[in-house]
Amino acid sequence: MHNQSFEQLKPFAMETKKNKKFDLEPKRKIFFFYGLIISMLVVLFAFNNAKEVESYDLSTTTLNPSDVEDIYLPPSTSIPKPPPPTPPIKIFNTIVIVENTSELPEPDFTFLEPDAPIPEPIRIVEKEPEDVIQFFPEQLPTFPGGMQSLNSWLSRNIKYPDTAAKIGVSGRVYLNFIVDKDGSISNVTVIRSPDKLLEEEATRLIASMPKWKPGLQNGKPVRVSYNIFVTFQLN
């Protein structure tokens, strides 16, 4: 069907292509002639309207400084002038040293004694505060008789709480206390404890200890912080 319609329209298509009404080949020479004429007219118009170049006679014309453009001159390449010669050194007369013939007075080193005696220099002695607590003194405080006596005293005076014994509570109570300058015990503090009943008994036991031998710093008794633990063990 498509081939049949194409064959029917083919004569019309050929006729349109060969129509002399749209053929511009015969008019080519006419267009070229018109273009040549237009270009010649444009050239003649340009020559007629060209401005004449004005000329000036520099011999009779006065120039204003503002009309003259700045002229750049290259830097001078002349040889610089040599420096002035140094002035001659003046030689003064010779200095002659003459011995001194006049005698100088002898110095007097005597001093007048003051009316009031000179006071002795003031000596400033730094005093340590009395309430300073030492942690590492030169000499630690000791229990009377040493550590073995301390363990024996704790074993004799400890009282196991009945309630703690019934429920089977045991362990170590860690405490801290202060050995004062006179060896007495103060500021007992519990650091760690397995039970409230055990720490109460350990605090009572440490606070009731006899006086220790105090610690020393620079040969003087001082307050010392001391740590200890009490062991509660059921048989």
User: Residues in the chain, how many?
Assistant: 235
Q: What percent of the chain has pLDDT over 70?
A: 64
Which pLDDT value is given to residue 229? 93
- What pTM was estimated for this model as a whole? 0.46
CA dist., res. 223 & res. 214, Å (int) = 8
Strand partners, 220: 217
Taking CA atoms, 107 is separated from 100, 101, 102, 111, in Å, by 18, 18, 15, 12
Residues 6+ apart with CB under 8 A from 192: 173, 174
> Structural domain boundaries of the chain?
133-232
Which pLDDT value is given to residue 159? 93
Answer whether residue 53 shows pLDDT above 50.
no
Tens-place pLDDT, residues 79-114: 777 888 887 777 666 666 666 666 777 777 666 666
Task: Give the residue-averaged pLDDT of 193-219.
Answer: 94
DSSP string, 55-107: ---TTTPPPPGGGSPP-PPPPP-PPPPPPPPPPPPPPPPPP------SPPPPP
Q: Looking at the domain 133-232, which fold is it? A: TolA/TonB C-terminal domain (3.30.2420)
DSSP 180: -
Tens-place pLDDT, residues 9-20: 555 445 455 555
* 8 A C-beta contact, residue 190 and residue 207: no
